[in-house]
Amino acid sequence: MRNHTRLAIVALTLWWISIPRGVQAQGTPSSAPCVSIGATMPVTRSTEVEITSGHVGVAAAFWAEAAFYPSSKVSIGFSAELPRSFEMQTRHGGSAAYTSTVDHQDFIFMPLVGIRLPPTKRLRAVAQFGAGPTLARTATIFGPFLPQRQPAASRPEVRQKVVPSLEGGIDLAFTLSDRASLVVRVHARNTWRHELYSDEVIGGFTLSPGVGLQFQL
């Protein structure tokens, strides 16, 4: 039953994509709202001297975006990025020397304004920028504590907070049909960390290249 349902959904999606735009809506392609879904690979570089491994954090993520076009040159949208966590190890020196293992995730919720660049027959480019909240989640296991040779803690210390981020980038949409496009996106983001939340070892700059599909409604 589940396989039949999945096949039916795929068939309906392909049928919907293949229908000429004129049959479905009177709006022009430049004014039609759209939704995009895909996968991205956020890369965060951390330079804190206490990091012993994991200076470059890489984690696969799912992204989705919805946008509408108040004019032929401007888009307004909302993007979300839901990643897996990446891991790093740190070593704190001094009399209370200890090591720690850090798992980190940034859940992105970003309103975006886009500027459409001059299109070609099969390629549309949109430069995007925005500012919004990031839900930062850090799980840290402290230990072992080196002087006393005490074992590591059995449970991680989990901290979550909302921090501001700035994002900018470009989306390239390659036309597949009247309704579907292949999207290649490269976004860069800067997130403000704070030492009070024990995530100051995490870098603030993230590069997020991705690919997905865009559907015009």
Three-class secondary structure of residue 113 per DSSP:
strand
User: Which residue range forms the structural domain that includes residue 186?
Assistant: 26-87+103-137+163-216
State pLDDT tens for residues 161-193: 899 999 999 999 999 998 899 999 999 999 988
Q: Quick one: pLDDT at residue 29?
A: 44
What pLDDT digit, counting tens, does each position of 67-118 carry?
999 988 899 999 999 999 998 888 776 656 677 888 899 999 999 999 999 8
Is the model's pLDDT at 54 over the cut of 60?
yes
Report the share of the chain in percent with pLDDT over 90: 47
pLDDT at 8: 54
Asked if the structure places residue 42 within a domain, the reply is yes
User: Residue 212: pLDDT above 60?
Assistant: yes
In a domain, 63, yes or no: yes
How many domains, the chain? Answer: 1
Residue 115 is given by DSSP the state: E
In a domain, 73, yes or no: yes
- The per-residue DSSP string of 157-186 comes to EEEEEEEEEEEEEEEEEEESSSSEEEEEEE
Q: Write down the mean pLDDT value for the chain.
A: 82
Q: Is the pTM here over 0.85, yes or no?
A: no
Residue 8 lies in a domain: no
pLDDT value, residue 152: 57
* Residue 155 belongs to some domain of the structure: no
Rounded Cα–Cα distance for residues 22 and 10 (Å): 22
- Which CATH number covers residue 43? 2.40.160.20
178: left (phi over 0), alpha (psi -120 to 50) or beta: alpha
**Does 197 map to a domain?**
yes
Q: Is residue 96 included in any domain, yes or no?
A: no
Q: Is the pLDDT reported for residue 2 higher than 70?
A: no
- Please classify residue 94 by burial: count the beta carbons closer than 10 Å to its beta carbon, then call 0-12 exposed, 13-18 middle and 19+ buried: exposed
Query: Which pLDDT score, from 0 to 100, does residue 80 have?
Result: 96
Choose the weakest-confidence range: 28-32, 66-70, 181-185, 199-203: 28-32
Cα dihedral across residues 123, 129, 130, 136: positive or negative? positive
Do residues 72 and 30 lie in contact, with contact meaning Cβ atoms separated by under 8 Å?
yes
Tokens in use for 150?
Answer: 């005490």
What pLDDT does residue 25 have?
40
97 belongs to a structural domain: no
